[in-house]
Amino acid sequence: MSQIGFIGLGVMGKPMSKNLMRAGHKLLVYDVVRGPVDELTAEGASRGESSSDVASRSDIVITMLPDGPQVKEAMFGPHGVLDGARAGLVVIDMSSISPLVSREVGEACERKHVEFLDAPVSGGEPKAIDGTLAIMVGGKPALFERMAPVLRSMGSSVVLTGPVGAGNVTKLANQIMVACNIAAMGEALVLATRAGLDPEVVFNAVKGGLAGSTVLNAKAPMVISRNFAPGFRIRLHEKDLRNTLLAAESMGVPLPLTSLVQQMLIALVNRGSGDLDHSALVNFVEGLSGVEVKKPAAAAV
């Protein structure tokens, strides 16, 4: 097995690292927060002292960071990956960032004779934990084929979508569909609740038809039970839609629905809801109508 370095041990990165270890990979880990590093080293990982140190001691480096600025800092900053990289190192950035930044990082890697894939994921913390993430990859086909077994340690769907940057374009497309789906679900359940219906009954009635979706099945029960514990935070989805709109602007593509939902997410962040699950998008619609989606009192358990 190759020596894998993993940088970024947050909500997603920590369980992804654990799945790599369960698959038998040797792991070297680094994060600016000490706690998850201590946890993983207690389970058998080696400790990295910096991004540069991780790169100098690894065959493959995986980064899983919040956004483009953090990725650029980890790659280009003092003691960054490219400081410690040798020719032939493979870098896989699994962060959800702007495809423009992915291409910038890819070009910098190429100048150092470092190979690069952008490979953002979808599925949130639950699928990061159980290793069933959807992984959307951009890069050279031959490199993708070499790295696919590593990626399959963390995901059940691993698809090459095009050259470097294509992974994050695909992830942005995914985030459009998820956000708009959640927003539409919120409006539908608010309408049903205002009409005096049990939203759980409505959910069960429609989920088997054309309106049914993985998003609906995952998020409607959370809304109805008022469970907004984060699987994927509102502030991160707002970041993704911001990156989507910037990329779309650079390509001259209008995205009116995405723009509207992003404004809803900004409003929720501004009122202190940024760390709730993105299913809490329903709270914005509830605030407009004064209706809270929940089972009627007589039906409540």
Catalytic residues: 171
* Sequence-distant (≥ 6) Cβ neighbours of residue 264 within 8 angstroms: 183, 281, 284
Tokens 């469970």 -> residue: 227
Round to whole Å and give the CA distance between 46 and 38: 10
Helix (H) or strand (E) segment spanning residue 62 = strand 60-63
Count CB neighbours of 20 within 10 A: 24
Contact 228, 280 (CB under 8 A): yes
Q: What is the dihedral of CA 39, 43, 46, 48, to 10 degrees?
A: -10
Residue 62 pairs with which residues in a beta bridge?
6, 92
Round to whole Å and give the CA distance between 253 and 204: 36
> Beta strands of 119-258 (E only): which ranges?
121-122, 133-138, 155-162
Contact 215, 278 (CB under 8 A): no
Nearest to 276 by CA among 219, 231, 225, 215: 231
* Sequence-distant (≥ 6) Cβ neighbours of residue 282 within 8 angstroms: 182, 185, 186, 189, 190, 223, 293
Nearest to 61 by CA among 23, 27, 100, 16: 27
- DSSP type of residue 23: T
* Sequence-distant (≥ 6) Cβ neighbours of residue 189 within 8 angstroms: 199, 202, 203, 220, 223, 224, 282, 293
